[in-house]
Amino acid sequence: MTQEVEKTVVNSWNEWDDLKHVIVGRADNCHIPPAEPALDAKVPEDSDMRGQWGRRPQESIDHANELLDKFSIQLENRGIRVDRPTPIDFSQPVTTPDFYTASQFGCMPPRDVLLTVGSEILEATMSYRCRWFEYLCYRPLMQQYWEEDPNFRHEAAPKPRLTDEDYRPDYLSDKIGVEKRLEWAAKKFFVTTETEPLFDAADVLRFGKDLVVQHGFTTNEKGIEWLRRHFPNHRVHSVNFPGDPYPIHIDATFTPLRPGLILNNPQRRLPDEQRQMFNKNDWEIIDAAQPAHNAPPPLCYSSTWLSMNVLVLNQKTVCVEKSEVYQAEQMDNLGMEVIEVELRDAYAFGGGLHCCTADVYRESSFEDYFPKQ
Ligand code: GLY
Determine whether the shortest distance from the Cβ of 213 to ligand 1 is under 6 A. no
Is 3.75.10.10 the CATH number for 19-362? yes
Alpha-carbon distance 261 to 283, whole Å?
6
Higher pLDDT, 13 or 6: 13
Q: Residues with catalytic annotation?
A: 200, 249, 355
Q: Which of 267, 197, 278 is nearest to 237 (CA)?
A: 278
- Stretch 170-197: mean pLDDT, rounded? 94
Taking 60 as the threshold, does the pLDDT of residue 1 lie above it? Answer: no
Tens-digit pLDDT profile for residues 247-261: 999 999 999 999 999
Ligand 1 geometric centre to CA of 232 (Å): 29
Determine whether the shortest distance from the Cβ of 302 to ligand 1 is under 6 A. yes
Q: What is the pLDDT of residue 6?
A: 73
Tens-digit pLDDT profile for residues 98-137: 999 999 999 999 999 999 999 999 999 999 999 999 999 9
Ligand 1 geometric centre to CA of 5 (Å): 35
Tens-digit pLDDT profile for residues 309-346: 999 999 999 999 999 999 999 999 999 999 999 999 99
Q: Residue 85 in contact with residue 109, Cβ under 8 Å?
A: no
Tens-digit pLDDT profile for residues 13-40: 999 999 999 999 999 999 999 999 888 8
Q: What is the pLDDT of residue 219?
A: 98
Taking 90 as the threshold, does the pLDDT of residue 7 lie above it? Answer: no
Q: What is the pLDDT of residue 40?
A: 83
Per the confidence metrics, is the pTM higher than 0.75?
yes
Q: In percent, how much of the chain has pLDDT > 70?
A: 99
Tens-digit pLDDT profile for residues 198-231: 999 999 999 999 999 999 999 999 999 999 999 9
Q: What is the best residue among 253, 267, 268, 354 to mutate for testing ligand 1's pocket, by most ligand atoms within 8 Å of CB?
A: 253
Q: Residue 242 in contact with residue 215, Cβ under 8 Å?
A: no
Alpha-carbon distance 241 to 235, whole Å?
20
Determine whether the shortest distance from the Cβ of 241 to ligand 1 is under 6 A. no
- Stretch 54-71: mean pLDDT, rounded? 98
- Stretch 337-360: mean pLDDT, rounded? 98
Q: Domain-by-domain residue ranges, the chain?
A: 19-362
Taking 80 as the threshold, does the pLDDT of residue 96 lie above it? Answer: yes
Q: What is the mean pLDDT of the chain?
A: 96
Residue type, 80: I
| C-alpha separations of 217 from 39, 183, 248, 253, 304 in Å | 9, 14, 5, 14, 18
Give residue 301's pLDDT band: very low, low, confident or very high (50, 70, 90): confident
Q: What is the pLDDT of residue 204?
A: 98
Ligand 1 geometric centre to CA of 146 (Å): 32
Buried b (16+ CB within 10 A) or exposed e, 186-218: eeeebbbeebbbbbbbbbbbbbbbbbbbbbbbb
Ligand 1 geometric centre to CA of 247 (Å): 7
Phi-psi region of 179 (alpha: psi -120 to 50; beta: other; left: phi over 0): alpha
Taking 60 as the threshold, does the pLDDT of residue 5 lie above it? Answer: no
Determine whether the shortest distance from the Cβ of 304 to ligand 1 is under 6 A. no
Q: What is the pLDDT of residue 52?
A: 86
